[in-house]
């Protein structure tokens, strides 16, 4: 199995040595471990959110040296980059400065509001939930269409704290999946949602079924912020993938996509 979404202490809100993440991957018998720490934000410097620009080369070097030494396991160099509308050029330039195996594109901000950050939950009371969902998924479609990302991270992160619109969002989800398909990006099944108030994986079974029907490929990630979270709840995630109709997972090498079968 593969885990394509694990963080490192550099982001300021994850714990453990990178070697311990690799050790855990070994222990549970992973085939591939992909580090995907947060790319420095171009809009703000917050040591509790991402590494600094100055730390990026050290991150790349440490992943690469772990990759050389890790016997029996393939260590990949990924990154989780925020999609920041208006800063596509700067983001693309920063991404091009490193030889990543893959780039996960994530939305953590709606018009500067960190909606997935527990410090800013009051934002959910200040705006209509349906509008928040529309704004969020519009950004997802834009991120996919930007062509900068191989994988869209935690596709329905907007549900993290359990706020759900009472309106029917089927059309919104269908349009989003159509945009993913047209852009040719993958989505990840991200098990971190199981550890959050919403208590389910990203994306939902409904969205996963839409993705499968459209032929949008998937990868798998724990979004581990601690070594013991590597590969967490993957049996559950893989069951959902198979139920949705998936038979294989996408893997990446220097931003080239390939596939492995789901066992
Ligand atoms: Zn994080
Ligand atoms: Fe994220
Ligand atoms: Fe993450
Ligand atoms: Zn993430």
DSSP 51-80: --GGGHHHHHHHHHHHHHH-TTSEEEEEEE
- Is the pLDDT assigned to residue 71 strictly greater than 90? no
C-alpha 140/C-alpha 104 separation (Å) is: 12
Answer whether 120's CB lies under 8 Å from 113's CB.
yes
C-alpha 22/C-alpha 64 separation (Å) is: 12
- Is the pLDDT assigned to residue 69 strictly greater than 90? no
**CA of 160 relative to ligand 2 center, distance in Å:** 11
Computed over every residue of the chain, the mean pLDDT equals 97
Radius of gyration of the chain (CA): 17
Identify the band that residue 70 occupies on the pLDDT scale cut at 50, 70 and 90.
confident
- Is the pLDDT assigned to residue 72 strictly greater than 90? no
C-alpha 255/C-alpha 261 separation (Å) is: 19
Domain topology for 2-261: TIM Barrel (3.20.20)
**CA of 142 relative to ligand 3 center, distance in Å:** 19
C-alpha 104/C-alpha 204 separation (Å) is: 18
C-alpha 164/C-alpha 173 separation (Å) is: 13
Measured CA distances, 81 to 11, 130, 186, 253 (Å) = 12, 25, 15, 18
**CA of 221 relative to ligand 3 center, distance in Å:** 9
Nearest ligand, measured from the Cα of 13: 1
pLDDT tens-digit profile of 182-236? 999 999 999 999 999 999 999 999 999 999 999 999 999 999 999 999 999 999 9
Supply φ then ψ for residue 79, to 5 degrees: -155, 150
Supply φ then ψ for residue 84, to 5 degrees: -120, 105
pLDDT tens-digit profile of 10-48? 999 999 999 999 999 999 999 999 999 999 999 999 999
Measured CA distances, 185 to 147, 151, 218 (Å) = 8, 6, 9
**CA of 240 relative to ligand 3 center, distance in Å:** 20
Residue 178: count of CB within 10 angstroms of its CB = 14
Q: What is the average pLDDT across 83-105?
A: 97
Tokens standing for residue 170: 């089927």
Q: What is the average pLDDT across 237-247?
A: 98
Q: In what order do the strands lie in the sheet with 218-221?
A: 2-6, 32-38, 74-82, 102-106, 151-152, 186-190, 218-221
C-alpha 256/C-alpha 7 separation (Å) is: 22
**CA of 63 relative to ligand 2 center, distance in Å:** 19
Percent of the chain with pLDDT over 70: 100
**CA of 7 relative to ligand 2 center, distance in Å:** 10
Answer whether 229's CB lies under 8 Å from 12's CB.
no
- Is the pLDDT assigned to residue 257 strictly greater than 90? yes
C-alpha 210/C-alpha 192 separation (Å) is: 21
Distance from the Cα of residue 185 to its chain's centroid: 12
Helices (H), 184-263: 205-214, 234-244
Nearest ligand, measured from the Cα of 108: 2
């Amino acid at each position: 199995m593969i885990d394509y979404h694990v963080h490192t202490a550099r982001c300021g809100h994850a714990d453990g040595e990178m070697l311990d993440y690799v050790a855990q991957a070994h222990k549970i018998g992973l085939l591939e471990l992909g580090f995907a720490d947060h790319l420095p934000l171009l809009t703000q410097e917050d040591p509790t959110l991402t590494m600094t620009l100055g730390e990026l080369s050290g991150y790349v070097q440490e992943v690469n040296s772990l990759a050389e030494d890790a016997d029996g396991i393939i260590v990949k160099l990924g990154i989780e980059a925020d999609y920041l509308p208006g800063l596509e050029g700067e983001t693309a330039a920063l991404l091009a400065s490193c030889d990543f195996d893959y780039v996960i594109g994530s939305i953590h901000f709606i018009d500067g509001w960190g909606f997935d950050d527990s410090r800013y939950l009051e934002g959910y009371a200040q705006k209509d939930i349906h509008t928040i969902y529309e704004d969020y998924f519009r950004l997802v479609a834009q991120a996919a269409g930007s062509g900068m990302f191989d994988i869209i991270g935690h596709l329905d992160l907007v549900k993290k704290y359990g706020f759900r619109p009472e309106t029917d969002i089927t059309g919104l989800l269908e349009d989003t999946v159509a945009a993913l398909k047209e852009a040719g990006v993958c989505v990840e099944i991200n098990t971190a949602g199981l550890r959050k108030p919403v208590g389910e994986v990203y994306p939902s079974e409904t969205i996963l079924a839409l993705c499968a029907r459209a032929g949008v490929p998937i990868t798998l990630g724990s979004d581990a912020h601690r070594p013991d979270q590597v590969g967490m709840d993957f049996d559950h995630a893989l069951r959902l993938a198979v139920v949705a109709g998936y038979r294989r997972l996408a893997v990446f090498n220097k931003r080239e996509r390939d596939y492995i079968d789901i066992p």
